[in-house]
Amino acid sequence: MRYGCATGKVVRFGCLGLEQSRCPWYTEDMIKISSEAELLSTFRPIDREEVILTDKITFPILLTDYVAWVEPSGHRVYLVFQDPSERGGAAWGVVFKRSQGPGDTMQMCQWCHSVRGGRSVSLLTAAVTPKNRIGVHVCSDLSCKDKVLGLPGVNDLREPYSRFEKLFKVLYRMSDFVRYSLLERNSGAVRQAAKSTRPVH
């Protein structure tokens, strides 16, 4: 899986491989993940045993937004993102199981708002508890970054934001999913209380 970046070059997993001073993405908020153990630590314990890395992942990962990869079988999709809600950085990892979409029906990704058919958008579900899962309809391979940084599709939702603002909103929606659908439900906290204080994206 490959992702575009701000320079127009094609890179893997968000890193250009440039010196920090030359990297247009580098900020003090960048999270450096130096090892497999550090990467696994971003996942919740309930997910950790299901993580399968690919040889496309090389360390260190300089995480400015997110990385995602698909299990070779295609059943699981993995996401590690930098939470924009926490300045200075927190990285979250999530293991998703992928359900096949309804075929040629056009669907909108809830995170990047691209509209695609042909199973490009699927229901991805994540574990809340060992017995409960919750899902979100998003790009099947989590290529939301490609969608918001690239040329819009003819059916995409038109929004008055720059591509970088759109990418930031994708990160906020990822953060909302983890905070309010996974962690909060698991903790048994009152959802309504958080709703009243959460920002709208």
Is 149 a binding residue for Zn ion by CB under 5 A? The answer is no
Q: Which residues contact 192 (CB under 8 A, 6 or more apart)?
A: none
What mask, x for binding Zn ion by CB under 5 A, covers residues 120 to 139?
A: -------------------x
Q: 5, 62, 70, 144: which one contacts Zn ion (CB under 5 A)?
A: 144
Binding residue for Zn ion (CB under 5 A) from 5, 62, 70, 109?
109
CB of 148 to Zn ion, least distance (A): 8
Closest CA to 62 of 98, 20, 104: 20
- Binding-site residue total for Zn ion (CB under 5 A)? 5
- C-alpha to C-alpha distance for 75 and 93, rounded to whole angstroms: 17
Among 5, 79, 112, 115, binds Zn ion (CB under 5 A): 112
Whole-angstrom distance, CA of residue 150 vs CA of residue 176: 24
Interface characters, 43-72, with Zn ion (x: CB under 5 A): ------------------------------
Nearer to Zn ion, 76 or 169 (CB): 169
Other CB atoms closer than 10 Å to residue 63's CB: what's the count?
23
Residues lying near Zn ion in the complex (CB under 5 A) are found at 109, 111-112, 139, 144
